[in-house]
Amino acid sequence: ETGVTQTPRHLVMGMTNKKSLKCEQHLGHNAMYWYKQSAKKPLELMFVYSLEERVENNSVPSRFSPECPNSSHLFLHLHTLQPEDSALYLCASSQDYFGEQYFGPGTRLTVT
C-alpha cells in the first residue's frame, strides 16, 4: 500500500492495557503528526515530529507517548487510558514542516 498506512485499523482495549498504534509513510516525507478525531469536535493535533525530533506537544496527557524511530515510522504508545480517549486516531505526514499534510486511514480506538 502506498501513501500513509496505519495499524491496527480497529482496537478495543481495557483501561489497564498497554497497546501501540503504528503509522508508516511511503512518501519520503520528513514530518509526521498524530491527531485525535472525536465525534462533533475539530481534529486535535497531538504531536508533531520533524526530522525525527518532536517539535510540538499539545498538552497531551502522559498516558499517550509518541515515538519516532525514523522518518518513515511513527508510534503512539497507550497505557492506562480512559473511556473518553475513545476516538479515531489519525496519522499524517508532510514533505517538510511546512508542507501539505497527507492523512492515514486512522485507527478506531475504543477504551472499555
Partner 1 sequence: GENVEQHPSTLSVQEGDSAVIKCTYSDSASNYFPWYKQELGKRPQLIIDIRSNVGEKKDQRIAVTLNKTAKHFSLHITETQPEDSAVYFCAARQNMEYGNKLVFGAGTILRVKS
Q: How far apart are the first and last CA of the chain?
A: 31
61 near partner 1, rule: CB under 8 A: no
Distance CA 89, CA 100 (A): 19
Size of the site for partner 1 (CB under 8 A): 24
45 near partner 1, rule: CB under 8 A: yes
Q: Nearest approach, Cβ of 109 to partner 1 (angstroms)?
A: 15
- At a CB cut-off of 8 Å and minimum separation 6, what does 75 contact? 20, 21, 22, 23, 66, 67, 68, 69
86 near partner 1, rule: CB under 8 A: no
The region of 12-20, 60-68, 69-77, 89-97 touching partner 1 under the rule CB under 8 A is: 89-97
Residues within the interface to partner 1 (CB under 8 A): 4, 31, 40-45, 48, 50, 55-56, 90, 94, 97-106
